[in-house]
Structure 1
Amino acid sequence: MKLLMITGLLTLVATMAEADPATIAQTAKGATYVDAAGMTLYTFAKDGPGTSACEGTCAKNWPPFAASASDHASGEWTVIQRSDGLRQWAYEGHPLYTWIKDAAPGDITGDGFLDGAWQVAQP
């Protein structure tokens, strides 16, 4: 019985560790990645692969989708190290952000901002 419980617990921990950091929700743009609170995630066209160009005031308005020290890459999901020392999730090499003007889950008010440089993150 103990062995079965330990095996089940290890399977649960392994499954949790491999879970994607974001989920998919339906927005006005269709299937869109969202954070745990249901807030839309965005990409920024000025970012390089695995590198964030959004710093300072930009990062205050577009908070990076934070990764913890224990988070690790899995498939299309990677963790980048920002110049400010924080860790940030990226999808297919594109760093992800939320937008402070989105007030509720499913809002996509940042889509197309800055002449289209900001786009909702979609699978």
Structure 2
Amino acid sequence: MSRTFAAIAAVTLLFAASSASAQMLKTADTAKGKTFVDAKGMTLYTLDKDAGGKSMCNGPCAESWPALIAADDAKPTADMTIVVRDDGKKMWAYKGKPLYTFKKDMAAGDINGDGFLNGAWHMATP
């Protein structure tokens, strides 16, 4: 009995550790199709100007487009990587593209940032 309990506990801990980064990327349906959302259901976006695993959205840009911050102990996966911002904070990136929310999205499912800045901002999609 204790062996079974230990095995279940080990699997649970492994799942909990590996699902921490998976929780960052959930999908939701919007009027424009599927998109990635954060833990609160808010749409995630990418910026065309971001390249080479670097966030180009700093200063006033970061006030309107908050980064999807990664905890200091966050563990990247094959698709989810971590980018260090100019301010030293860590943020999540999907396949190398940093992820952001948009402050004008007021509720889960809002997609007000898609196409913003002459099409430079896009919903992050699977």
Q: Same fold (TM over 0.5)?
A: yes
Instruction: Tell me the distance in 2 between the aligned counterparts of 1:2 and 1:88.
Output: 40
**Structure 2 counterpart of 1:78, one-letter code:** T
Partner of 1:93: 96
> Residue 64 of structure 1: which of 57, 63, 67 is its match?
67
Aligned ranges 1:32-111 → 2 under 5 Å: 32-111=35-114
C-alpha separation between the residues in 2 aligned to 1:40 and 1:112?
Answer: 13
Cα distance, 1:2 vs structure 2: 2.7
Q: Which runs of no fewer than 5 residues in structure 2 stay unpaired?
A: none
Residue number in structure 2 paired with 1:4: 4
1:87 positional shift: 0.5
Give the TM-score, by structure 2 length. Answer: 0.93
Give, in whole Å, the separation in 1 of the partners of 2:95 and 2:68.
14
Q: Which runs of 5+ in 1 are unaligned?
A: none
Q: What is the Cα deviation at residue 4 of structure 1?
A: 2.0
- Number of residue-to-residue matches in the alignment: 123
Q: Report % sequence identity.
A: 46
**Ranges of 4+ aligned residues in structure 1 off by more than 6 Å:** none
